[in-house]
Chain A
Amino acid sequence: MLRHRARLGIILFASWLCFSGTANAYPTAWIFGTPNNSCGQATLPNVQYNCQRFKDGLTSKSWPAINIGFYMSESVQARMFTDISKVSYGQDIGFSDSVDVMLFNGHGVWFDFPTVDNYYFVMGGTANQCTVIMPNEVLWGSNTRVALMHTCQSLQREAYQSGTYDAIRTGNKFKVLNGYHGNAYDAKSNGDWLYKYARDSQTAGVGDNWVDYFTYTVGGNKKQCATSLVYAPVSEVNDIFHNRGLNDFSNSAFDGYSAYYQVCNCQPASAGSKLTC
């Protein structure tokens, strides 16, 4: 009997080791969505579905569900995205900057300022404050490698040129910021593309697939301009944009260079100029 128990113990221990090893071999992802908010902004009824589709896409390729965090509505608060070095209540290292891949899906808006432009994104809960401001309050890179900002105006070319995104990163880990020049749609169809993006971009296409899947240049009044920003030496940005994935990171050292990828002459339906090249 004791021998059986010992054998069972060994099997369980081996299973635990095996599972732990598998889980830890995969990076972590946290998903933040604000279908509802207490901040007086319109609800976004497709956000929860779209976030779930992104999660489904990750797990469809063996990304362990245990490695994926899911925060919706009221639980999404400013402290999760702000850095202690910039804001007194900042706890990003426990949340958005604690994982390899971070998706935020909600409202956002860009402000054209005389010096460095600002980008605000809206929280679900009112604790701390209702908005998080780039670059004044955000500093990613302690752990985060890829940030996917599925909001309006989250990666505006004018803001990039003004230096907004230079001041939101630190260290060598943070490599890719994906977002939109102009407004983004809150539609179920974007959820299906989020599924495919998460499924297809784990080992390659972290930037290029984003641009391909989420850009709509014609069709009805859908004009959505997806953009991607890569922080890496000039000799490596293309490799990261095309060949690296959500689960395949580059460890290159940051030397101050960044590259903003865009589809030329994409004209967003609203809130942005045509991307002339």
Chain B
Amino acid sequence: MRICFIAVTLLGLFSAMAAEAKTYELVISKKILSTSGKPRAALTINGGIPGPTLYWREGEVVTLRVTNRLDEDTSIHWHGLILPTGMDGVPTLSFKGIKPGATFVYRFTVKQNGTYWYHSHSGLQEQSGVYGSIVIKPSKGDAFSYDREHVIVLSDWTDENPHKVLANLKRRSDYYNLNKPTLIGLIKGLQRAKSAAERNALIRETTEWGRMRMDPSDIADVSGMTYTYLMNGQRPQLNWTALFRSGERIRLRFINASAMTYFDVKIPGLKMTVVQADGQNLQPVNVDEFRIAVAETYDVIVSPKDGPAYTIFARSMDRSGYARGTLAPRQGMVAAIPPLGKPIMLKMSEMGPAGHGGGHTGATTAGKPVGQGAPKGGRAASGHGAGAHAGAPKQAEKPVGPRPHAGHGASTPARSSTIKMQPGAGQPHADHGTVGAQGGAKMRLHAPGSASQLTANAGSAFGGSYKKLTYGDLRGLKANTDRRAPGRTIVLRLTGNMERYFWTINDVKYSDAKPIRLKYGERVRIRFVNETMMAHPMHLHGMWSELRNGNGRFNPKKHTISVGPGQIIEIDVTADAVGQWAFHCHLLLHMETGMFRKVIVADVAATN
């Protein structure tokens, strides 16, 4: 009798382990929190910001019961995860959303490992706190060794109602910009100039920006004027601390879960070895600092020395604030906080070839098809997706060879002249504004002040000069499996109107646009042509975006691709997931004002 009992119990235990089906309860509710120090209504997952870290194992089946205790619809999207379209969490594309009081049960098999995150895909809820992290352990073991790990969720919090933030921008697009060029700034610049040529260049630069009605200080739409920047939900004063023991290698999983903020991350005194981007293994790169775009993740390994504490410093790209924590052997330690640094101003010469009059594009017209055409001949060397060249401040400029296209109407830069963008065939659009003056043969495909650079910046973490991570440094550890050349290229011009604060793709808002149709299994190239002067982190759901940065089969797989001002960046995509997938700029307010598309992957011939 007793043996029977023991046998049944053991059987039950074994079967429970074998099923590997974990169930998680996530409740989204409103709660008063003092995130900035002042009590404000926040939207939380299980009562906190960020929501709980979900620890999964590659291969297991996870069940997530998400309950909505708000009085409006909500949703949870699992960012970067490959799963069935019905589990992707985008209302009207994947499912109907989660009604107030309802519980939606997500269930899917985890098919990957690495660092990811999850967040609401309804309205502006993500800004109010509905986000959290996901850590997926590999089934076979990590590609690199470490002794301890910490998750670092970077985000932005505003005490204002997020809809008020958008309303402020609609009334006055520079509402949150306290770093604008001023008369006093111009006079100081002229005084500092060392020659008449330099003075003239400064005046010319100012009038060029004025002619295009573009603001070179427009780095971030929403700044520290309203934002408190958080590290794991804690404002800088709270000093979130990560502990370590001497001699340990620490893995730091950085996630940018913010709505509108790019962070520049560094740990003064510590080199970081970047081992993963967007959850995917990379050839390790040693850096002093990296820029993490909205929605990206970077995993780094650090080896802190015993004794001192280190500041984990994440300053916003526009230098209007920072998030901060401490890496220390004991609680309660504090290290020096580095200075924020001067605000970055874009230089005319740093705008990529596609940059022009502020990306102030024509009136929206209904149903413009996504531009497409065969990859144009005579493009830049095939190895480089967009044939960039280095532009780090310390480096000499290297001219590139054949000039890449702007995709639909080649701009022909010439010194001190301005050229109207010619509408490409089949893509008439109104009044594009003019292409800024570019410096002769020195084609730049990135702005050093912008979010991404395609070629490696040669400064090395161990060589003495300061090394910042660039997109050119990302090289996948394993070769990509789909080696087919793409059948076609889809051009997506990233467009918008800063003055009236709305953002579009190909000059068309989501509600006026036709979906992008892909045939299941096809291999397609997507060319982003950023005609605006803001960096846009473009995120395609459900499928990997292989960033064409010159590494061929080792082009890194990413889920979020940041395209800098005026930049042209290409990705290759294998449409290996049937369903309706969102494809959008991950700057929340850009997405909300129209920079969004539906991608339909179906088992029929693509009709675009």
The answer to whether A and B assemble together is no
Binding site for B on A (CB under 8 A): none
